Amino acid sequence: MLAELSVALWRGTREGRYETYRVPQRESQTVLDIVTFVQRHIDPTLSYRFACRVGVCGSCAMTVNGRPRWTCRTHVAKVAGSGRLQIGPLQNLPVIKDLATDMQPFFEKWQQAQGVFAPSKTRHDTIEQIRPDSAARRAADAAIECINCGVCHAACDTVRWNPDYVGPAPLNRAWTLVNDVRDAGNRARLQAVSGTGGCHSCHSHQSCQELCPQTLNPTASIAALKRRTAAAYLKGEITV
Amino acid sequence: MNVRLYVWQRATAALMLPLVLVHIAVIFYATQRGFSAAEILSRTRGSIAWACFYGLFVAAAAIHAAIGVRNVLSEWSPLKDRSAGLFAILFGLALLGFGARAVTAVVLG
């Protein structure tokens, strides 16, 4: 007979409760496997979000035993050592239903931080030559593998208590673009991340870098942005 | 917090670092030597150097602490940024006033 795991899943929207389900345990089982089992075999009304199942798309992040995680790459054996598994929606975002959150506020903050590439050339210009070992490219490479999963946003204390704060992922993205020599939007970007709710609101608690599934370090990117914007402010390139 | 407040807070912190070390060293020196209040005041009164030292210390501390209090209020209290900023200015001015009074007492007497 298969061993069973007792799993508590959030049901509802902002108001709701955790309901407990019995799910058979399997070898190499992920948290997403658990959620999928419940929806396909126990309660088809359970709502959650996923796409690729292999840690690329960033769709399936949820709160697992109190911590935000990408559920498709989180093994049950890693997080349910005590035999307890509680799965809820990501924190710091509105809940649509059950385990699915509304990511719109998260992506609006990417726009707010000017986390969008601003081209400096047209298709008729020659392609920019970029040395992979240049300091700027190394800095961009260190931060560029973000999959927009929202784990850092959900993990951040400052996001929770300061609604103006744009958060770790948009600032991390802004830092990659600041180091992209092809980008033409840096003055506006540095200006955008220097105001209220920008990079200087970060308290460097480092929850983002501790929980980032891609092992990125948004805290380091934000610290670098603080230095870069301070220098730009002192040179008069940006204002407050 | 914005970049202007950030620069002011970091600059005053950098300024206070050596001042705090000297201040602590002075405390140790005075207590180790067993100086009385009168002996300490006889060294500080009329001293332009101590007036500058502690005057700078008080100004830096007032700015640094006021920015910190503004952040705490805007993040943890129902006050909006503007109200928190106003309260922080008053707090900084109070620190400056109390500090200036203490420096004056020690240096002028």
Q: Across residues B28-40, what is the average pLDDT?
A: 92
**Ranges of chain A whose pLDDT falls below 50:** none
Rounded to the nearest 10 degrees, how much is the dihedral formed by the CA atoms of B22, B28, B31, B37? 10
Residue ranges with strand state E in A71-168 = 84-88, 95-97, 100-101
Please indicate, yes or no, whether residues A129 and A63 belong to a single structural domain of this protein.
no
CATH at A82: 3.10.20.30
Please indicate, yes or no, whether residues A94 and A110 belong to a single structural domain of this protein.
no
State pLDDT tens for residues B74-108: 988 998 889 999 999 999 999 999 999 999 999 98
Please indicate, yes or no, whether residues A227 and A116 belong to a single structural domain of this protein.
yes
**Do residues A155 and A67 touch, judged by C-beta distance below 8 A?**
yes
Please indicate, yes or no, whether residues A198 and A96 belong to a single structural domain of this protein.
no
Alpha-carbon span A145 to A120, nearest angstrom: 23
CA A170 to chain centre: 9
Tokens representing residue B54 in the block: 């502690």
Q: Using the beta-carbon criterion (under 8 Å), do A196 and B1 form an inter-chain contact?
A: yes
Half-sphere exposure of A82 (CA within 13 A, CB side): 4
Bridge partner residues of A184 (DSSP): none
Shortest Cα distance, chain A CAs vs residue B8, angstroms: 10
Please indicate, yes or no, whether residues A141 and A112 belong to a single structural domain of this protein.
yes
**Do residues A86 and A66 touch, judged by C-beta distance below 8 A?**
yes
Tokens representing residue A48 in the block: 């959650």
pLDDT score, position B64: 98
Q: Using the beta-carbon criterion (under 8 Å), do B5 and A200 form an inter-chain contact?
A: yes
Number of structural domains chain A divides into: 2
Please indicate, yes or no, whether residues A123 and A83 belong to a single structural domain of this protein.
no
Of A158, A162, A198, the CB nearest to B2: A198
Assess: ipTM above 0.90. Answer: no
User: Residue A239 domain-assigned?
Assistant: no
Fold that domain B3-107 belongs to in CATH? 3 helical TM bundles of succinate and fumarate reductases (1.20.1300)
> What are the distances in angstroms from CA A110 to CA A67, A71, B94, B104?
23, 23, 40, 52
Amino acid sitting at position A220: A
**Do residues A92 and A153 touch, judged by C-beta distance below 8 A?**
yes
Please indicate, yes or no, whether residues A108 and A173 belong to a single structural domain of this protein.
yes
| Phi, psi (rounded to 5 degrees) for A80 | -115, 40
Please indicate, yes or no, whether residues A58 and A124 belong to a single structural domain of this protein.
no
**Do residues A95 and A89 touch, judged by C-beta distance below 8 A?**
yes
Q: Tell me how many degrees the CA angle A201-A190-B65 measures, rounded to the nearest 5.
A: 35
Residue ranges with strand state E in A89-201 = 95-97, 100-101
Please indicate, yes or no, whether residues A70 and A122 belong to a single structural domain of this protein.
no
Q: What is the dihedral sign for C-alpha A121, A126, A132, A133? A: negative
Q: Using the beta-carbon criterion (under 8 Å), do A195 and B6 form an inter-chain contact?
A: no
Shortest Cα distance, chain A CAs vs residue B1, angstroms: 5
**Do residues B64 and B13 touch, judged by C-beta distance below 8 A?**
yes
Q: B-chain residues within 8 Å CB-CB of A194?
A: 2-3
Please indicate, yes or no, whether residues A173 and A110 belong to a single structural domain of this protein.
yes
User: Residue A14 domain-assigned?
Assistant: yes
User: Residue A137 domain-assigned?
Assistant: yes
The domain segmentation of chain B, as residue ranges, is 3-107
**Domain, as residue range, for A130:** 104-234
CATH at A127: 1.10.1060.10
State pLDDT tens for residues A29-80: 999 999 999 999 999 999 999 999 999 999 999 999 999 999 999 999 999 8
Tokens representing residue A34 in the block: 């658990």
Tokens representing residue B15 in the block: 């300024």
Please indicate, yes or no, whether residues A85 and A131 belong to a single structural domain of this protein.
no
Please indicate, yes or no, whether residues A134 and A26 belong to a single structural domain of this protein.
no
pTM of the full structure: 0.90
Q: Which residue of A has its CA nearest to B2?
A: A195
Q: B-chain residues within 8 Å CB-CB of A195?
A: 2-3
**Chain B within 8 Å of A134 (Cβ-Cβ)?**
no
Alpha-carbon span A66 to A172, nearest angstrom: 24
**Do residues A9 and A16 touch, judged by C-beta distance below 8 A?**
no
Neighbours of B4 (CB within 10 A): 17
Alpha-carbon span A198 to A214, nearest angstrom: 23
Domain stop point among A77, A101, A125? A101
Element of type H or E holding A6: strand A4-12
Cβ-Cβ contacts under 8 Å between A and B: the total is 35
Domain stop point among A45, A75, A101? A101
